[in-house]
Amino acid sequence: MKKAGPIILMVAPVAIILIGLFLMPQFYLFRQSISLPPPVGIDTYLQFFSERFYLDMLGRTFLVAGLVTLICILCGFPLALWLARIETRFVPLLLLITTFPLLVSAVVRSFAWMVLFFRNGLLSQTMAATGLVSPGFQFMGTTAGVVIALGQVMLPLMIITLYSVLRTIDRDLENAAMNLGASPWSTTWLVIVPQMKGGILAGSLLVFSLSVGAFATPSLIGGSRVNMMAIGIQEQALELFDWPFAAAMAMILLAAALIIAVVYGRIISEQSHEPR
Amino acid sequence: MSLVSWRSPFGFALSLVAVLVIAYIIGPLIVIVGSSVGGAGYLSFPPEGFSLQWYSKLIREPLYLNGFLTSLRIASTVTLLSLLIGIPAAYALAYRGFRGASTLVSIFLSPLMLPSLVLAVALTIFFSHWPLTTGNNRLVLAHLIICIPCVLRVTIPAFQRLDPALEEAALNLGATPLKAFLLVTLPVVKSGFAAAGALAFIMSFDEFDMALFLSDPAQMPLTVVLYTKAQLAFDPTLAAAASSLILMMLVLMILVQIVRMLRG
């Protein structure tokens, strides 16, 4: 019935497109990054790793991605737990509300934060009124602003991941703990959280790797005042036209993203093989 | 006894945190829609008065409308091509006798793991060596790299849920493979196709990183228009444009839900 011939024919277009437009461009990216001094050299990488400015840039990118991941865990877990365990018929509606922002472009979502973050914006005014920040403070162009906005952009992804895991874990365990007299706090800590480790790790990997490479939100909220890799790559390429250096920075970002994915993948698979 | 009960301090604290987090997620979108209908000459929230002045300015600005139409054109082309290329591949990859299919699938999904900015830089360099095509067609090709994997991710499970005995029965009863596909397989998996198409469309329409690098400067997609405008000055017209997009996606989502409810 189904032979190898038709199967190859059906899969071939995808394979050709991915080889031609995904693998080949990455080869050219690598080739461009090692083009100085001509014909082949690694000046771009030497420059990147010898200058404090660029090392700070790499560090700040990881710091932002780490803080965003932390926000997503701290905000995402309580909301996902609440959505998965509350008994109301509004849960589907609440889920739609929490995931709706995913349909809206990150550019548009960052605009919303710009309105709040400007000097006369609602958030800056409220915070100045409560004395948290000095009057005239604004989040635009600060690392804190980027973290707050990017956290909101990434949060729905974490919630989807955690919610789907929370729906599948066995509720008998937590009911048993509660019936035996455990408080809801200790039930959450000792029964639910240990079963959620895999889900939290998977969600964190997703959020972290997307945050490391995020460009629209850091660029609109932080701009060149927040020293992040994605902003640096865009500046080198589209403003300074230093394509070899932009390519080298892109390769470094790529390598960082891949290393994180591999390390995380290993942790996740160890988690799932751990005997209970 | 339930974990989340309003009467227990834990349930109350959890509900409070949950409401605050929902406000964090959705609040900014409400703020921008609210401030776009303000009557003052500048952006403010809560809005001072009510007026649609920024919307009438938005309609009179051809740059936004052109950007919208360009994005619509690009996203429709990308959706059509992703479905045409992705669905046959998904059908083959979901076939149980296909050894190595799962390895191939994870290779095919790998573009989704990489930062799209890196893909954008790589493709720009690639196209400068191999000028395969020009203008926004380059962006269409770029979007295919992320939209085809999305189509695969949605349609492979849809095909896998299908009972292979159904199709075999049709073939044994004398249907041609094409007829069996159209009359037996397609009705079962078509909602998967619709979901894949919607996802591909939204991904392409919302995409910004690759659009910034690869789009035709004379015909910029909407996200690039918005970004470029915001770099100059953030005026209330931008808030009106952003709000229009938010409302458009809201209407789309509600329509999808209505269709889903009507189907039961």
In chain B, where are the structural domains located?
9-54, 61-232
For chain A, the farthest-separated pair of C-alpha atoms sits apart, in whole angstroms, at 74
Instruction: Please give the pLDDT value at position A55.
Output: 94
CB-based contact B208 A107, cutoff 8 Å: yes
A138 touches chain B (CB under 8 A): no
Domain locations in chain A? 41-273
A140 touches chain B (CB under 8 A): no
Q: Which of A77, A87, A223, A210 is nearest to A153 (CA)?
A: A210
CATH of domain B61-232: 1.10.3720.10
- Which residues in chain A have Cβ-Cβ distances shorter than 8 Å to B114? 213, 254, 257
d(CA A156, CA A71): 12
CB-based contact B24 A184, cutoff 8 Å: no
Low-confidence winner among A2-6, A68-72, A100-104 (lowest mean pLDDT): A2-6
d(CA A113, CA A123): 9
Percent of chain A with pLDDT over 90: 54
Say what angle helices B62-94 and B136-160 make with each other, to 10 degrees. Answer: 40
Nearest chain B residue to A178 by CA distance is B1
Instruction: Please give the pLDDT value at position B49.
Output: 73
CB-based contact B85 A13, cutoff 8 Å: yes
Q: Cα separations (Å) of A207 from A118, A120, A121? A: 26, 31, 28
- How wide is the angle at C-alpha B146 spanned by C-alphas B140 and B152, nearest 5°? 115
Residue keyed to tokens 């789009």: B215
Q: Which of A44, A33, A101 is nearest to A251 (CA)?
A: A33
Give the best residue of A24, A28, A94, A170 to mutate against chain B (max B CB count within 10 A). A28
Q: How far is B45 from chain A (nearest CA, A)?
A: 6
Residue pLDDT, tens place only, B49-80:
788 888 888 888 899 999 999 999 999 999 99
Say what angle helices A106-117 and A143-168 make with each other, to 10 degrees. Answer: 130
3-state secondary structure A75-105: HHHHHHHHHHHCCCCCHHHHHHHHHHHHHCC
Task: Give residues 173 to 232 of A whose Cβ lies within 8 Å of B.
Answer: 174-175, 178-179, 183-185, 187-188, 209-210, 212-216, 219-220, 230
Percent of chain A with pLDDT over 70: 95
Low-confidence winner among A176-180, A263-267, B122-126, B159-163 (lowest mean pLDDT): A263-267
Task: Give residues 153 to 192 of B whose Cβ lies within 8 Å of A.
Answer: 168, 171
- Which residues in chain B have Cβ-Cβ distances shorter than 8 Å to A119? none
Partner-chain residue, chosen from B22, B85, B92, that has the shortest CB–CB distance to A17:
B85
Q: What are phi and psi of B157, to 5 degrees?
A: -60, -35
d(CA B122, CA B116): 10
* pLDDT of B22 above 80: yes
Instruction: Say which CATH class A41-273 falls into.
Output: mainly alpha
